[in-house]
Amino acid sequence: MTEFILGSSAGDHLKVEVVQRQHPSETDYWDGNWIRAVVSVSAGPWRGSYEASLRADEIAEFRNQLQTLSSYISQEAAT
């Protein structure tokens, strides 16, 4: 199982666990990129999870955007 966590696994976080492909026999871009996942949220005393259908290409684009954002956060401000 593949997963990623935003936040701290010991504290507030969002976790996405990939379970399987939605349409494992499909190889085309549109149907082949759907995945089944369990999304879990932990925020203070609240906890919850649900099953979701997500697109693999959208998760990859989200990762790319987080990498871009991370590069801005690590830079120092110029005076």
32 within domain boundaries: yes
Q: Which two tokens stand for residue 40?
A: 């879990």
Q: What is the pLDDT of residue 18?
A: 95
- Residue range 9-19, pLDDT digits in tens: 899 999 999 99
Q: What is the model's pTM?
A: 0.79
Q: Cβ distance 17 to 38 under 8 Å?
A: yes
Q: What is the pLDDT of residue 69?
A: 86
56 within domain boundaries: yes
Q: Which two tokens stand for residue 6?
A: 């935003």
- Residue range 22-70, pLDDT digits in tens: 999 998 988 999 999 999 999 999 999 999 999 999 999 988 998 888 8
38 within domain boundaries: yes
79 within domain boundaries: no
